[in-house]
Amino acid sequence: MTTTKQFDPDRDAPLLSAYVDGELCPEEAVRIEAYLAESPQARREVARLRELNDLTAALRLKDAPAEAWEVFWNGAYNRAERSLGWILLTVGAAIVGGFALYKLADVVLAADTLPWLVKAGIFVGGGGLIALLISVVRERLFVRKRTRYDDVIR
């Protein structure tokens, strides 16, 4: 902070706030306390700063009302932003998943120690898993578009 021992009220006034916040090193705190002992004006300022800290610590932000969120999510930009995010996530997952399936098929087909029945079982089971995944996604999309509560406004 400062290198001089004497407290200069014009230059060192921000140190009073740092003192109240407990952000000073011990040497600076001792210097401020010595100044406070001799200056009633500085003591009043420190009391005011402590009062301000107590007041701001008690403040809490209010949650936005449900109507504000409804307007926010109905905005075209917000819907487009969310849709773009889901599209990019889906495309990225499809690319990575497709590559993983390709590598898995490559490993399974190249494995000479696996009987053909086990290889067929792996491919049939994987195909069933993919079919179920697609079915669940389609069902969720169908239900989402036809919810009974579309017209309900919070």
3-state SS, residue 90: helix
What pLDDT was estimated at residue 2?
45
What pLDDT was estimated at residue 42?
86
What pLDDT was estimated at residue 93?
93
What pLDDT was estimated at residue 151?
63
Q: How far is CA 140 from the centre of its chain?
A: 26
Q: Which of 45, 63, 61 is nearest to 53 (CA)?
A: 45
What pLDDT was estimated at residue 68?
79
pTM for this one? 0.40
- For the residues of the chain, what is the DSSP string, one character each? ----SS--HHHHHHHHHHHHHT-S-HHHHHHHHHHHHH-HHHHHHHHHHHHHHHHHHT--PPPPPHHHHHHHHHSHHHHHHHHHHHHHHHHHHHHHHHHHHHHHHHHHHH-TTS-HHHHHHHHHHHHHHHHHHHHHHHHHHHHHHT-TTTT---
Per-residue pLDDT 10s for the chain (154 aa) are 444 567 777 787 888 888 888 888 898 888 888 888 988 888 898 999 999 988 888 888 888 888 877 777 777 777 788 889 989 999 999 999 999 989 988 998 888 898 999 989 988 998 999 999 999 988 988 887 776 666 666 5
